Chain A
Amino acid sequence: MLVHSRKGKWATWAVFFVLFLPLFALPLLVVLAASFATNWSSAFPSGFTTGHYTAATRGESLQALTTSLVTAVTASLLALLVGTWAALAAHALGKRGRRVLDALFMLPVAVPSVVVGLAVLVAFSKPPMLLNGTRWIVILAHTVLVTAFAHQSVSAAIVRLDPAYAQAAASLGARPSYVLWRVRLPLLLPSLTAAAGLCFALSMGELSATMMLYPPDWTPLPVQIYAATDRGALFTGSALAVVLMTATVVVLFVVSRIRTKATYR
């Protein structure tokens, strides 16, 4: 459309792929290739092996994967509960109240996650709320970090919701709780699952706050990847990274299946 001559088009596409492939496609391919290699000292990796995966799916690494999954699922569910509640409550408020509540709940996005980690560490290291050294401090920090995203996606969906359904239900005598449970939440379900997927992906990859907080018996996968690369085990780190990406993508895919089912309803 913008470029009409055939030559010009090919030239533009060439420029595009020269920029795109090395920058975006190559990194992922390289990590994938490295996870199967024993050696990489020239242009291409050498020594095909699946040993890194055998190591990555047992012992400490397997524990790190389950730790990450448990943390991400718990944090997403908690974030979804708080975020949805806040979004529904904000919608019922006036314009000003809604704006204040939205701003409050979006604040964690602007605050660096390292600082969120530090703040949680400072606040929960002493009685009466002594969580430092337990897994709950990690889960708590993840929840704080992803609640903003849950709140934002759900509140964007609530405004798009047609109020006629809730009105019709209420005019037929349904109590507010019934309207919420049987009408509004089912209508919001697609956005809720989308928000859950988003929170899950963010929590799976969260490193900054986790580095500040994790206790020795609760090391999520990103920390494990960092530990591996830091001691020079780059290939093991790559295998762990591939495991992390695969787990994220699989869960996102499953979540998106729930969503499509819900939209048919």
Chain B
Amino acid sequence: MGRPSEPPVTNGPAAVAVPTLPQALDSARAGGTPIALRNDCPQRDQPDQRDQRDQADQRDQADQRDQRDQRPGPYQAYLWALPPVVVLSLVFLYPLALVVQQSFQPDSGGTSAQAYGDVFASAAFREALGTTVWLASGSTVGCLVLGFVLALVIAFVPFPGGKAVAKFIDVFLSFPSFLITLALLFIYGTVGMANGLWTDATGAAEGPFQFLTTPWGVLLAEVTYFTPFVMRPLLAAFSQIDTAQLEVASSLGARPARIVRQVILPEALPALAAGGSLVLVLCLNEFGIVLFTGAKGVTTLPMLVYSKAILESDYRGACVVAVVNVLISVGLYVLYRVVSRRVGA
């Protein structure tokens, strides 16, 4: 993903392309590898093309040269890598390991997976798991469709102010997610805007919009908040498509729907795949939106972790749910990194 529209590297300090905040955000959440890979290539590939000597040998030389540029010996390099790794282990990996350990430790001592049995058997957990999965997949599909349509219009049916809209989306990304739920309370809440309009118009006692405290309210909020995460990579991918291709297809008689299906969609697939799986992971982990909805009926896995740990002080149960949640999320995240690397997005 990242920014395929990256300008070619030139010399001079200004050449260090400066990502804007949302671009950095995007590239960071997306893994940010592609830019790096592309500009790295020429340096490494030149020796191969130069003459017919053994390629492996040349690569070794290039590697050695690389190393000379950076640091002296490999041992020293590992030594330098040690402090941040130690810090990370202390504040993140070790706590995470403790969570796993606690989930296997019953009150009676020893080690057993009994807590897992208890949690898996509880209806609350199974319901939360189901809700989490369908909310996340539903939101992802919604984000993909909506993001694709909106990005399509911005890129291919340009209008004055389109740049401003793209800027607005950037700013949107730097706000916390729960603001959306807060706003939805005013728009679709029991005494909010939509219901107010309805009761004013019809004189009815209450409006028809009562979905906010159901999973649909969470779905709407998640689609709203996460669609920009799909739009950014899509806009970057669209800016790479040669418009001449569209003109040719159109002059050969293809109608817009067919151009979208046969020309634009294939080009956009990598960006869609990468953006979609990122949104899936983020939706699985979303907490603020669900918390602000305040609905008793909507419990997702992160919400269950919170309520077990803080409200019920059942740390063992919380740890079990946390382990399950981490396994799902990290599994999907690994898949996402593999997909986005494979498709070169």
Q: In this assembly, does B133 line the interface, its C-beta being within 8 Å of a C-beta of chain A?
A: no
Query: Are the C-beta atoms of B185 and A229 separated by less than 8 Å?
Result: yes
In the complex formed, the residue of B with least CB distance to A119 is B95
Residues of A in contact with B (beta carbons under 8 Å apart): 1-4, 8-9, 12-13, 15-16, 19-20, 23-28, 30-31, 33-34, 40-44, 82-83, 85-86, 88-94, 97, 101, 104-116, 118-124, 140, 143-144, 147-149, 152-153, 155-157, 159-164, 166-167, 170, 176, 187-188, 190-191, 194-195, 197-198, 201, 204-208, 211-212, 222, 225-226, 229-230, 234, 237-238, 241, 244-245, 248-249, 252, 256, 259, 263, 265
In the complex formed, the residue of A with least CB distance to B332 is A110
Question: What distance in Å separates the Cβ of A136 from its nearest Cβ neighbour in chain B?
Answer: 11
Query: Are the C-beta atoms of A115 and B302 separated by less than 8 Å?
Result: yes
Cβ–Cβ < 8 Å partners of A152 in chain B:
27-28, 31-32
Question: What distance in Å separates the Cβ of A34 from its nearest Cβ neighbour in chain B?
Answer: 5
Query: Are the C-beta atoms of B306 and A205 separated by less than 8 Å?
Result: no
Of B50-58, B111-119, B123-131, B242-250, the one contacting chain A is B242-250
C-alpha gap A175/B198 in the complex (Å): 73
Query: Are the C-beta atoms of A161 and B16 separated by less than 8 Å?
Result: yes
Cβ–Cβ < 8 Å partners of B333 in chain A:
109-110
Question: What distance in Å separates the Cβ of A253 from its nearest Cβ neighbour in chain B?
Answer: 10
Query: Are the C-beta atoms of A122 and B19 separated by less than 8 Å?
Result: no
Query: Are the C-beta atoms of B191 and A104 separated by less than 8 Å?
Result: no
* Interchain Cβ contacts under 8 Å between A and B, 23 examples: A13-B157, A26-B187, A27-B179, A30-B187, A40-B191, A86-B88, A92-B70, A92-B81, A97-B77, A105-B88, A109-B333, A112-B302, A112-B305, A112-B329, A114-B306, A114-B322, A115-B96, A122-B315, A144-B92, A160-B39, A226-B291, A226-B292, A249-B171
Question: What distance in Å separates the Cβ of A74 from its nearest Cβ neighbour in chain B?
Answer: 14
Q: Which of B264-292 contact A (CB under 8 A)?
A: 281, 284-285, 287-288, 291-292
Q: Which of B179, B223, B330 contacts A111 (CB 8 A)?
A: B330
Query: Are the C-beta atoms of B176 and A122 separated by less than 8 Å?
Result: no
Query: Are the C-beta atoms of A156 and B325 separated by less than 8 Å?
Result: no
Q: Which of A19, A82, A225 contacts B84 (CB 8 A)?
A: A82
C-alpha gap A15/B150 in the complex (Å): 9
Cβ–Cβ < 8 Å partners of B285 in chain A:
111-114, 208
Query: Are the C-beta atoms of A207 and B178 separated by less than 8 Å?
Result: yes
Please list the 10 inter-chain residue pairs (A to B) with the smallest Cβ-Cβ separation, ordered nearest first.
Answer: A205-B176, A27-B183, A110-B333, A123-B95, A119-B95, A159-B36, A112-B285, A208-B287, A86-B84, A89-B81
C-alpha gap A237/B178 in the complex (Å): 11
Q: Which of B21, B98, B197 contacts A43 (CB 8 A)?
A: B197
Cβ–Cβ < 8 Å partners of B18 in chain A:
190-191, 194, 259, 263
In the complex formed, the residue of B with least CB distance to A98 is B81
Query: Are the C-beta atoms of A3 and B256 separated by less than 8 Å?
Result: yes
Query: Are the C-beta atoms of B28 and A110 separated by less than 8 Å?
Result: no
In the complex formed, the residue of A with least CB distance to B63 is A94
C-alpha gap A1/B264 in the complex (Å): 13
In the complex formed, the residue of B with least CB distance to A87 is B84
